[in-house]
Amino acid sequence: MPLPVYFIYLKYAVYKQEFFAAIASHDAHVYSNMISVTIKQK
């Protein structure tokens, strides 16, 4: 694999990782809000 392609792949992998991490943290935030709302309603 030529070096530039490797760097592009590395950049893509890091970007993808951050993208999924952002989705996961957003989901966790939404779930925690739902849970706290459910607890308040009881």
The string of pLDDT tens digits covering residues 3-28 is 888 888 888 888 888 888 888 888 88
pTM of the model: 0.45
> What's the pLDDT score for residue 6?
83
Burial 3-42 (b: 16+ CB within 10 A, else e): eeeeeeeeeeeeeeeeeeeeeeeeeeeeeeeeeeeeeeee
Chain position carrying tokens 């849970």: 35
> What's the pLDDT score for residue 40?
84
The set of long-range contacts for 27-30, using a CB threshold of 8 Å and a minimum separation of 24, is none
> What's the pLDDT score for residue 1?
56
Task: Give the separation between CA 31 and CA 2, rounded to whole angstroms.
Answer: 43
